[in-house]
Amino acid sequence: MEHFDVIIIGSGPAGEKAAAQAAYIGKKALIIEKEPVVGGAMVNTGTLPSKTLRETSLFFSGKKRHRMYGVEYREKKFSVQELMFRKNLIIKKEIEMINENLAKHKVAQVRGSAYFIDRHTIGIEGGDDKFTADFVLISVGSHPYRPKMIPFEEPSVYDSDEILHMINIPKSMVIIGAGVIGCEYACMFAALGIDITLVDTRDVILPFLDREISRLLVEELKKLGVRIIFNESIEKVEVKNGTCETHLKSGEVLRTETHLFAAGRSGNTEGLKLENIGLSANSRGQLEVNEHYQTEIPHIYAAGDVIGFPSLASTSMEQGRVAMCHAFDFLYKDRVAALLPLGLYTIPEVSMVGMTEEEARKNSIDYEVGKSFYADNPRGQIIGNERGMLKLVFAKEDKKLLGVHVIGDNASEIVHTGMMTMHFGGTIDAFIACVFNYPTLSDIYKYAAYDGLGNLSGHKIRK
């Protein structure tokens, strides 16, 4: 049996970055990956493919060009092969880059389904290979939650991984679950002219968002043609004569060409034989960890989707790095940053970091807000995105920035300026003091700050 300093089960964002971090400090690392290629859901079924598909749908639909220069863009017909072409190209390139990174760090790789023989020994299902290690990181990722009432065996019924392999572009689709995945797919498919109905059990989409931003996103979804049904759940799904019938508890039956179930994911812990080491996952296959990403067995760590919220590729990468730094007592990265930006690749994009207005009120913080709109920004007018908005939440007492919320083009990029200001404990005065390139979307920070000052003083400040 070959011995390693650390064995990492899974090569998604947490696993890859953990392996590179361990190798960087001179440790012998092994990644065991059950799939034929590296990258996990981030590369193959989730983050990159869906975001690439979003950009492709914007390109083919012409949504970015509508109303610009006084010319109405005429949509062209396209095939599902054309729609998926760039997605496949991006996946191939990213897999190559991950393999190059692991090779550069001299990280060993083995293909197969790993399982625990004991607390320091890992076997490969169906083979005789065994490996031992001082430390183990479980970064096996997640898969779509698939309730028994949904007939996934039907070719027109998809989960959020399978939808990326659809054969034809349907005319209609019902999407169950208005979470991040459901909203992103609702936008991109609606942009392509597909008749979309989005169903959720709650009375608001994405409740972690600032409520004003959430309402604006709902308005944008409706403008794309999405029908949203709130406070509703499904009773059953049937496929009859090629039509998906989604029966709601209210009695309404939605008849569409396709059905996408996108309500939650479960950790890929089944098959690890955790019972052999006295470790157990919860009902969603997720593992509990402490602030160092240790499970209840100190030398066994877990990171990424398998530990649940926030299940973001960016956060998973940091979790993997922090776990390895702790395991090998490398005093470099001892925690994941407290400020975690969230990016939703809807149409338009939404991004946030820090407190919402609702959270500030709940925590009895005396706060004020400042807003700026893309419609008042020359770059916003140039690119034809006039419905975007930046919202700053800050403390009245010292103007310290508490939260940043953006909806509009490049929101996931724009949010970082506010995040870095918050990271260093800055106030909204920082935006007024700074000079921004002109014309840029980033300039909306200055005018949101001016708006906030005006709200503080009770009158609008001349800008």
CB contact at 8 A, 382 and 364: no
pLDDT of residue 78: 64
**For the segment 127-183, what is each residue's pLDDT rounded down to a tens digit?**
999 999 999 999 999 999 999 999 999 999 999 999 988 888 899 999 999 999 999
Q: What is the predicted pLDDT for the residue at 462?
A: 44
Confidence of residue 272 (pLDDT cuts 50, 70, 90): very high
pTM score over 0.75: yes
Say how far apart CA 180 and CA 200 lie, in whole Å: 12
Q: Per-residue confidence at 75, pLDDT binned at 50, 70, 90?
A: low
Residue 47 has pLDDT above 90, yes or no: no
pLDDT of residue 353 exceeding 80: yes
pLDDT at 362 over 60: yes
pLDDT of 463: 46
208-225 pLDDT, tens per residue? Answer: 999 999 999 999 999 999
How much is the average pLDDT of 258-273?
95
Which residues on adjacent β-strands are paired with residue 131? Answer: 2, 122
**Of 50, 35, 144, nearest to 98 (Cα)?**
35
Q: Please list the residues that pair with 247 across neighbouring strands.
A: 236, 253
Q: What is the dihedral of CA 159, 165, 168, 171, to 10 degrees?
A: 30
CB 207 within 8 A of CB 200: no
Task: Measure CA of the first residue to CA of the last residue in the chain; give whole Å.
Answer: 70
Mean pLDDT of the chain: 92
- What is the model's pLDDT at position 85? 80
Q: Tell me the C-alpha distance between 94 and 12, whole Å.
A: 12
Interatomic CA distance for residues 135 and 133, integer angstroms? 5
List the structure tokens of 170: 């349907």
Number of CB atoms found within 10 A of residue 218's CB: 19
Encoded tokens for 254: 């939605």
